[in-house]
Structure 1
């Protein structure tokens, strides 16, 4: 059975308490809060022949088939390769599944993740099934970025926001998930994961704290003119571009916030607090705004998997960053 996370307890009771289920749900929220686990748990509940308020029974024929990955009335649609789009041919296969009669005589359940990975043709091909699924079919769409979905897709679903756990709840869960990490390390991981506990666990497995330390040290040497932008760009080959742009966007935002509020408590993580404050005090605000605009535009390209020259992009970033202190 899929994991049941404590911050989803209220939402789960709300979902299973429905007397009649919608034909399509859109489960949305930030990445790393357990939306896939919630969808899988709901899928098992909807397919189970003897469900309880807790979830699927785990003992009936439907539960055994689902656990074995051979349930004939279950369909999972996702990209064929990580970070690739869901293609229209995949959706047509799903549509063929939807129009069939349930082989076990109960419901058919479809899970789509991430829904925003569907290209325009794929999304349009799904509309008919979303509006009028045949038989007792329930479609569960998972989205990390619902703003990227077609309005016609969203309007055909019951839109359900999935809760972000409180920091206290996340840290309590991380204490069990990452017992070998110190409290300070778990705090840092949760900050780097923007409050998403499952994302924090993934970041720990990727060695993100070590990567962050490498980047912070490099930025400090850059500002002291101990390293050239080209040297630094090449030394960050192992650090994912999305992480780098997330961090630099965060630092630019913190600089602006400090310039506006002079609030020492709003300088972010301790590893860059002094650097952020120094840059905020030494850089004209229009210059910070210009760099922030550039960062956000490039970050969008990175997230959109644009064909970018990594080293040249990072060199351009670091040249601008090194020039921040001083007149515009």
Structure 2
């Protein structure tokens, strides 16, 4: 738990939502900013926290000059709090939420508002979520709680019902590509498009994927899948070779390919959306049975949910099983 540094503004594609929010006469005490990973929810929440704490906001912009803005710029504002897991991928525990409640009950040190950002909200364990309910049910005056979530369905319904839910979406493809061209000018238009496709249209996620070297990792995985189907590589060999590839990426890629297979199978597509598998997927679609494909998708989505939920899975066993089932798609008629 720490005081967070301010962000200047929300992402440009969220400007209409921002203007509608900051022109309200009154604000509810709790918000849930929901949406896909990488669309800019955290940035939006941080900008809104700055706006709430600014003593002289001008329309939808902070003044940048008041005492609160100076403290925000220095990252030392005593009335702004960030609650997040102690380690990435770990749970937010009940002790952190109890400290949050204590913070909310205190008088604002700057004599104005207090703001808490909780991210990612779905990381709260059950005890922490139940402890948060009391703060939501008994809000303190001039205190605002901003929850940020990639997976709002994992939150308790009682938490969601006590928040003003704002769903933040990705921009149109043209706007996303323009933004990426400014952020990653060293890449080509084709590379921007490939990253955006992997990121499901979420620009901030595309930047993160670039930093992870996802383009190179994906090329390695695609070649491995082709080798598997030709029996040139075994599932254990690939599971070992892919040790540096995050499980979340692998599950997302196989989900994308499976969706293409279903669309090809039903005639909804003539060529795959995933152009780096433009030879493999049509070949598979001609040979896989629809019932087999549906069973595979069910298994894949179930295990993807486990991965996203940080379940304690045996990585090697999961990958070997995934690859064996993928190869077997064409063997079951």
Q: TM-score, normalised by structure 1?
A: 0.96
Deviation at 1:327, TM superposition (A): 3.8
The 4+ residue runs of structure 1 with deviation greater than 4 A are none
User: Which residue of 230, 233, 240 maps to 2:239?
Assistant: 233
Of 52-61 and 277-286, the range deviating more from structure 2: 52-61
**Which moved further from structure 2: 197-206 or 3-12?**
3-12
Give 1:242 deviation, angstroms: 1.2
Select the residue among 92, 98, 109 that pairs with 2:115: 109
Q: How many positions carry a matched residue from both structures?
A: 327
Unpaired segments ≥5 residues, structure 1: none
Structure 2 contact 23–60 (Cα < 8 Å) conserved: no
Residue number in structure 1 paired with 2:328: 323
Distance 1:311 1:142 in 2: 32
3-state DSSP of counterpart to 1:174: helix
Is 1:110–1:140's contact at 8 Å kept on the other side of the alignment? yes
Q: In the TM superposition, what are the counterparts of 1:56-71 in structure 2 within 5 Å?
A: 56-71=62-77
Match of 2:303 in 1: 298
- TM-superposition CA deviations, 1:263-301 (whole Å, max 9, x none): 314x12211021111001011112222222221222122
Are 1:73 and 1:103, in contact at CA under 8 Å, matched by a contact in 2? yes
Write the deviation string for residues 72-109 of structure 1: whole angstroms up to 9, x where unpaired: 21121111111111111111101111111111111111
Q: How well do the aligned residues superpose, as a CA RMSD in angstroms?
A: 1.3
- Where does residue 4 of structure 2 map in the other structure? none
Q: After superposition, give the CA deviation of every residue in 1:174-203 in whole Å (9 maximum; x if it has no partner).
A: 010110110001000000000000000000
Matching residue within 119, 127, 137 for 1:121: 127
Q: Between 85-94 and 300-309, report the one with greater CA deviation.
A: 300-309
Describe the SS at the equivalent of 1:25.
strand
1:206 deviates by 0.4
Any unmatched runs of 5+ in structure 2?
1-6
Structure 2-normalised TM-score?
0.95
Measured in 2, the distance between the counterparts of 1:184 and 1:86 equals: 39
Greater mean alpha carbon deviation, residues 249-258 or residues 193-202? 249-258
Match of 1:90 among 82, 85, 96: 96
